[in-house]
Amino acid sequence: MKTPQPKSNSEMLGSEIFCEAMAELGVDVIFGIPGGVLLPLYDKFKKYGHKVRHILPRQEQGGGFAADGYARVTGKVGIAIGTSGPGATNLMTSIANSMMDSVPVVYITGQVVEEMIGTDAFQETDVLGMSMPVVKHSYFISHAKDIVKTLKEAFYIAKTGRPGPVHIDISKDAWVTEARYIHETEVDLPGYNPIPEKCSDSEIKKLNSLLEKAKKPVLIAGHGVEISGAQSELKKFSEKHNIPVVSTLLGITAFPQNHALWLGLIGMHGEAVANLAAHNADLIISAGSRFDDRITGNLKSFTKNTNFVHIDIDISEIDKNITTDLPLPGDAKDILIRADKLLSSHKFENWWHAINEWKKKYGFLDFSLNPDNEKDFLSQPRIIKMISDATEGNAVIASDVGRNQMWTGRFYRFRKPNSYITSGGLGSMGYGVPSAMGAKLGKPDREVWAICGDGGFQMNMQELATIAENNIGIKIAIMEDASLGMVRQWQNLLFEGNLSETVIKNPDFKILASAFNIPAWNAESYEEAENAIKNARDEKGPALIAFKVDPNEHVFPMVPPNTPLGEQALNDNDLK
């Protein structure tokens, strides 16, 4: 049903204009916490509750991560609000997270009245200056007349080109002044060109000569493929040229994981075969990946004797980390569609013979590189596989950061695009639970799991209250190893086992969940784990499982910093 539009010939308070604009922009949920300078706005939220739902997180960072998770799974713009001072600063980690992972979120912060700015007023903070390095754009509003235009521009900037966060700092004046509601039908931003000039067909045709010359090509599927909705085009391209595909962590659902051309995750904790293929490739074609250090390993080794083709909508990424032989700026979907029409097909049979030999030698997409220490503890990757099998790969998975994140990327078998959300570039612990909360609110018909380490879970476990209050039906899997697991692994392998401040004392997570009336189970055996997963899935509302897992089960392969991908460690002994 079309949202009724306010009359534009009558004046309204800025707080009312804001609520009307949110509804007109199609916003269905806002995550925010009230505070002094936001009270005029919150005074109107109940009046507009039938148009826009408001969710009260228990900390602004949780609300920001929830808005981020919501945006990732829906493709819509997420909204998070924080008051002046600490409310705004609490959002900073969420804002940086959205920037590094190209997520369209509009972050709104309250500010003191304009005449008091610069006087060190109560809760006055230069949050605009703080946020500028980690946003696509920033605004400051001090009058109601600027609200609609600014919001529409912010939404446009957040969504177009390479997506990202936009920050709007709004002084208290804007909520209490009056203005007419002006319907802004078009956004006019001279100088903002979100889509670079299309690369020409003749440029795309140059890829033919590189493919003709290549003997060992590899295609990297990055997050940009998912953002552009180019999954089917990528699949068609790889099949036409018979090129093996490796995935970045954020691009893990950009290519079918049951496909014969897929080699798995690349990088520091990627699949052994994927890393060897990239290390030995003479042509690497990247679609929507920025060649960050976690996938390249040692840059000199990564680029040696290799030609690079870079497809990216953000021209600032091209030639930033590596020298590109053929830059193809633009939208991945458009470029891959045109490439299908312009390029001849290829086979690379000898290359596939070498790859298949690596699969036999190193094991492929299984648990052969992980230690079995199941006498006293459960194995994290096996638990991930159990959740994957139970959900048939159809769930949305929000993982925290650490070993659970790497194993989820490797052993959950995703069947649908945009189904894995995690803090990739920023690597922020505490992301899992609140982002799952946002994802479930955005996709209420999808099954949503948060997979967390016990350390990351405790960084935002206050959101259990939000989940319980709103009956948000996510399932939480805590990998309980009483450790900051990934840091512990590095200490074990690279710092002679000096476990400095990585062993933690946990609460009883089952009792903690019961305090919020959330059904919960502890699992110390695989039989208990299987039953707990079934029971959690049977719950219509939220549920929590704490799995007692091995604190010394290390994620392998492991490519230590500044090490070539081809010199990956496959077990503990390789690092001694």
Q: Which residues are catalytic?
A: 60, 122-123, 172, 486
Q: How does 139-166 read in b/e, with b if 16+ C-beta sit within 10 Å?
A: bbbbebbbbbbbbbbbbbbbbbbbbbbb
A 10 A CB-CB count for 189 gives 12
- What type of residue is 462? Q
H/E run at residue 449: strand 448-453
Cα separation, 98 vs 554, in Å, equals 29
Say what angle helices 526-538 and 380-391 make with each other, to 10 degrees: 40
Cα separation, 571 vs 493, in Å, equals 10
Cα separation, 447 vs 388, in Å, equals 12
A 10 A CB-CB count for 343 gives 17
The two tokens of residue 390 are: 């139970």
Cα separation, 440 vs 460, in Å, equals 17
DSSP category for residue 503? B
The two tokens of residue 450 are: 């948060």
**Cβ atoms of residues 476 and 433 within 8 Å:** yes
The two tokens of residue 39 are: 């009270």
Cα separation, 346 vs 474, in Å, equals 45
CA 496-502-507 angle, to 5 degrees, is: 150
What values do phi and psi take at 275, rounded to 5? Answer: -65, -40
Cβ-proximal residues to 191 (8 Å cutoff; 6+ apart), any chain: none
Distances (CA, A) of 94 to 142, 285, 408: 24, 31, 22
Cα separation, 185 vs 206, in Å, equals 41
φ/ψ bin of 501: left (φ > 0), alpha (ψ from -120 to 50), beta (otherwise): left
Cα separation, 533 vs 33, in Å, equals 33
User: Cis before residue 551, ω within 30 degrees of 0?
Assistant: no
**Helical H runs in 77-187?**
86-90, 92-100, 127-131, 147-159, 172-176
Distances (CA, A) of 151 to 17, 147, 184, 442: 11, 6, 10, 21
